[in-house]
């Protein structure tokens, strides 16, 4: 049988139904799929060390004959230990394996073998731990060279995969090159099929490096081409150009009663610049809670109003919409800007009145939840949409905006604000051409929230501390552990915590709870009760939005802190420290694991959301950090997403290529790019 790229893996010898199933789970159906199942890493066993030169501890590959091999039972640990002695001209070495009794069938006394693995010092005796093994032959597949290591999911061993791959060498050359020749030449890259060959069967470390260079280049190049291409399409839309009113902006800043931070000034300027262009702004304004994003957005809305156009300001919840409405009104009314609030609670008659005045252009800034973007809400000339905490919205955001295009076909400018910082490195790579303004500086005089990791034996002390704060008149948030996304489980955990605290620990204090099963009115009542100082402690699940300002709250307790991502912990912490009092965040954890400790330690040491985001990315990877729904990133190596050099290189090349060429003329490349669709749109 001739094997081609299209041959089904089931037709390959050695791939029975058992393996077929396992491969199918990985999306591998054809020979081509299998060849594109690439190694995760490589181990260099090309150097064979003579036994006399083995110096434990360290990883080695040795070659020799088996002197003895046998199984024994370890009674205490209830397992089988296989022990072998291997000898070469220079000496002997002991090798051990655990729970693999069948090994004595594969390796017999007198066999010439290669063994590779870690050598440890076991009470003075060098001992090779569970080494990989291969009998010596002319065609070494596994040892005595650089060998690929595959991700061993679904019970497919690297050894098995290497064996199957070795049957496919010849067909690799029919893989078609998809990168344009000019790109290959400029970048000095090896061809596609040569890359695949070297990744599975490296000739030497130099060739392997070249293959990996091409692999990494491709990954980021495709992403950059996709981003630039989408951006090109977006830039073809038109928007209303808003005139900058310098005098008005100056009076606005004067009216605030504080000086803008440099970061605020810079962001405001970037936004104003965007508004002046007849192309829709698509900008993200990032900054920690309390960094002063709203002020910046308000100034932009003022510019739009002064030029005679309307702004929609959208908040994730009604509570937050109301709070934004009050803040914006205070800031903008001195300049005779008419700000209105529209929520589900707005009375019918009032709603009618607002809608009428909105349609006639009298309302200049409309604040509300995303319902404000619904079609029945008619604007006179909507030119600007501001969305707070955009990540709470679904995917349809931008298409909804497009529908809000005016009768002249212009699309509103779009500014989203977020307190969830995207790590800078990701910003560069993934959102390369989405515009981002960053407020990475807090207004002066803000106190740091003292953050501490609390092990179980210190819990008592924290309760004492909480009691003292309450005596001083302060209030406390308690966040319950994240269990899963089930509301039932969540309800159970919050109820249990409520019972425990109100009966056992603080029977004398007023405690309230908040969870996803409550009706919106109940939630709001509880929240307002807390904000108004009626309760001392508010216990809440992590899924509930508690974005309301409670300056009197000074302690944030997070139960089961180890189960949350760092960025999320940072968000919770941002709910305290908003007033004039010194505030604290206690991270409760039962975990004694060192990695957990390290992770939580990171958050006690910094209050900079961007640093935390960067750490989070390192630990959890881009998929988790960006949120599945938002980014739609295909499987990209985290290292590449954070490799600034590589990003610059691929971005420059992508620009060069797209300037002169049209993707339609490169169907194979276009096909590859399809999987990145929607990546850069930040929906
Ligand atoms: P964010 O939206 O980023 O959470 P806000 O715009 O709501 O932050 O600002 C938080 C608080 O800080 C508000 O009370 C605001 O008036 C105040 N504030 C904003 N900028 C400054 C500044 N430069 N100096 C002092 N206070 C500021
Ligand atoms: Mg805010």
Tell me the per-residue pLDDT of 190-223, one tens digit each, with 9 for 90 and over.
Answer: 999 999 999 999 999 899 999 999 999 999 999 8
- pLDDT, tens digit, 9 for 90 and up, residues 271-330: 999 999 999 888 889 888 888 999 999 999 999 999 999 999 998 888 889 989 999 999
Whether 551 is in the pocket of ligand 1, judged by its Cβ within 6 Å, is no
Is the minimum distance from the CB of 261 to ligand 1 under 6 angstroms?
A: yes
Residue recorded with tokens 């019970």: 155
Nearest CA to ligand 1 atom 17: 292
Residue 682: per-residue pLDDT: 41
Domain extents in the chain: 1-43+156-175, 47-144, 246-276+292-418, 450-606
Ligand 1 centroid to Cα of residue 578, in Å, is: 10
**Phi and psi (nearest 5°) for 383?**
-120, -10
Q: Is the pLDDT of residue 678 over 60?
A: no
Handedness of CA 600, 603, 605, 611 (dihedral sign): positive
CA of 57 to the centre of ligand 2 (A): 54
The Cα 102–Cα 94 span in angstroms is 18
Q: Is the CB of 91 under 6 A from ligand 1?
A: no
The pLDDT value given to residue 394: 34
CA of 612 to the centre of ligand 1 (A): 21
Report pLDDT for 180.
96
Q: Fold for 246-276+292-418, please state it.
A: Rossmann fold (3.40.50)
CA atoms of 189 and 181, how far apart (whole Å): 10
CATH class of the domain comprising 450-606 = alpha beta
Q: Does pTM top 0.85 for this prediction? A: no
As a whole number of Å, the CA-based R_g of the chain is: 31
Q: For residue 391, what are the contacts with CB-CB under 8 A and spacing of at least 6? A: 418, 420, 627, 630
Count CA atoms closer than 13 A to 258's CA, side-chain side.
13
In whole angstroms, give the CA distance from residue 379 to residue 293.
25
Binding site membership of 291 for ligand 1 (Cβ less than 6 Å) = yes
Closest C-alpha to ligand 1, atom 18? 292
The tens digit of pLDDT for each residue in 439-493 reads 988 888 778 899 999 999 999 999 999 999 999 999 999 998 766 556 667 777 8
- Return the pLDDT at 66: 95
Could you tell which of 443, 551, 571, 610 is best to mutate to test the pocket of ligand 1, judged by most ligand atoms within 8 Å of the CB? Answer: 443
What residue owns the CA closest to ligand 1's atom 9? 292
pLDDT band at 518 (very low <50, low <70, confident <90, very high): confident
Cα separation, 680 vs 683, whole angstroms: 8
Mean pLDDT, the chain, whole residue set: 86
> Among 263, 287, 290, which residue has the most ligand 1 atoms within 8 Å of its CB, making it the best to mutate?
290
Per CATH, 246-276+292-418 and 450-606 having the same topology is answered yes
How far is residue 562's CA from residue 589's CA, in Å, rounded to a whole number? 6
| The pLDDT value given to residue 632 | 47
**Strands 146-149 and 41-44, bridge-based pairing:** antiparallel
Q: Give me the mean pLDDT over the 224-236 stretch.
A: 79
Q: What is the Å distance from ligand 1's center to 260 Cα?
A: 9
Show the tokens assigned to 138. Answer: 């002319």
Q: Is the CB of 290 under 6 A from ligand 1?
A: yes
User: How far is it between the farthest Cα atoms of the chain?
Assistant: 97
**Alpha carbons 530 and 228: distance in angstroms, whole number:** 48
Tokens of 172: 């690799």
SS3 assignment, position 11: helix
Long-range contacts of 484-487 (CB under 8 A, 24+ apart): 485/543, 487/515, 487/516, 487/517, 487/543
Tell the residue nearest (CA) to atom 6 of ligand 1: 292
> Which homologous superfamily is 47-144 in?
Nucleic acid-binding proteins (2.40.50.140)
Question: Given this model, what pLDDT does residue 425 score?
Answer: 65
């Amino acid at each position: 049988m001739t094997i081609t790229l299209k041959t089904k893996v089931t037709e390959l010898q050695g791939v029975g139904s058992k393996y077929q199933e396992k491969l199918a789970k990985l999306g591998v159906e054809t020979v081509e799929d299998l060849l594109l199942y690439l190694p995760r890493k490589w181990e260099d066993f090309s150097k064979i060390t003579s036994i006399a030169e083995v110096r434990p501890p360290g990883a080695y590959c040795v070659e020799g004959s088996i002197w003895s091999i046998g199984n024994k039972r370890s009674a205490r640990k209830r397992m089988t230990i296989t022990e072998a002695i291997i000898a070469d001209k220079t000496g002997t070495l002991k090798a051990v394996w655990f729970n693999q009794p069948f090994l004595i069938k594969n390796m017999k006394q007198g066999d010439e073998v290669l063994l590779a693995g870690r050598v440890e010092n076991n009470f003075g005796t060098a001992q090779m731990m569970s080494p990989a093994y291969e009998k010596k032959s002319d065609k070494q597949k596994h040892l005595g060279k650089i060998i690929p290591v595959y991700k061993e999911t679904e019970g497919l061993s690297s050894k098995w995969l290497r064996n199957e791959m070795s049957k496919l060498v010849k067909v690799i050359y029919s893989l078609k090159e998809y990168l344009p020749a000019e790109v290959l030449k400029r970048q000095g890259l090896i061809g596609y099929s040569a890359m695949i060959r070297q990744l599975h069967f490296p000739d030497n470390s130099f060739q392997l490096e070249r293959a990996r260079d091409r692999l990494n280049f491709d990954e980021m190049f495709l992403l950059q081409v996709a981003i630039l291409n989408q951006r090109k399409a977006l830039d073809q839309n038109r928007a209303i150009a808003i005139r900058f009113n310098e005098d008005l902006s100056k009076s606005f800043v004067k009216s605030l009663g504080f000086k803008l931070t440099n970061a605020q000034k810079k962001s405001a300027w970037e936004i104003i610049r965007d508004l002046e262009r007849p192309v829709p702004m698509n900008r993200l304004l990032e900054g920690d809670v309390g960094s002063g994003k709203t002020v910046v957005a308000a100034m932009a809305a003022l510019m739009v109003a002064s030029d005679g156009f309307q702004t929609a300001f959208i908040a994730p919840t009604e509570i937050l919409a109301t709070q934004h409405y009050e803040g914006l009104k205070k800031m903008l009314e001195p300049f005779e800007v008419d700000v209105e609030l529209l929520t589900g609670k707005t009375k019918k008659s009032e709603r009618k009145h607002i809608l009428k005045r909105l349609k006639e252009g009298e309302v200049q800034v409309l604040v509300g939840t995303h319902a404000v973007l619904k079609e029945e809400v008619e604007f006179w000339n909507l030119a600007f949409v501001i969305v707070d905490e955009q990540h709470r919205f679904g995917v349809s955001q931008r298409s909804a905006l497009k529908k809000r295009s005016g009768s002249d076909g212009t699309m509103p400018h779009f500014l989203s604000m977020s307190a969830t910082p995207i790590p800078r490195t990701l910003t560069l790579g993934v959102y390369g051409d989405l515009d981002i303004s960053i407020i990475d500086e807090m207004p002066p005089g803000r106190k740091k929230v003292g953050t501490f990791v609390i092990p179980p034996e210190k819990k008592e002390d924290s309760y004492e501390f909480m009691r003292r704060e309450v005596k001083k008149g302060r209030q406390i948030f308690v966040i319950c552990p994240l269990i899963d996304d089930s509301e039932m489980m969540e309800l159970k955990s919050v109820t249990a915590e409520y019972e425990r605290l109100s009966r056992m620990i603080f029977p004398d204090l007023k405690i309230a709870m908040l969870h996803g099963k409550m009706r919106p009115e109940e939630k709001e009542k509880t929240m307002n009760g807390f904000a108004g100082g009626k309760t001392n402690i508010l216990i809440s699940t992590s899924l509930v939005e508690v974005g309301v300002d409670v300056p009197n709250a000074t302690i944030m307790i997070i139960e089961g802190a180890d189960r949350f991502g760092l960025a999320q912990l940072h968000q919770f912490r941002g709910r305290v420290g908003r007033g004039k009092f010194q505030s604290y965040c206690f991270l409760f954890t039962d975990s004694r694991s060192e990695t957990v400790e390290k992770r939580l330690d990171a958050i006690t040491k910094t209050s900079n959301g961007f640093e935390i985001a960067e750490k989070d990315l390192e630990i959890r990877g881009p998929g988790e950090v960006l949120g599945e729904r938002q980014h739609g990133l295909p499987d990209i190596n985290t290292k590449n997403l954070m490799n600034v050099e590589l990003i610059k290189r691929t971005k420059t090349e992508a620009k060069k290529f797209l300037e002169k060429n049209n993707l339609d003329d490169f169907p194979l490349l276009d096909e590859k790019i399809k999987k990145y669709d929607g990546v850069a749109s930040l929906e």
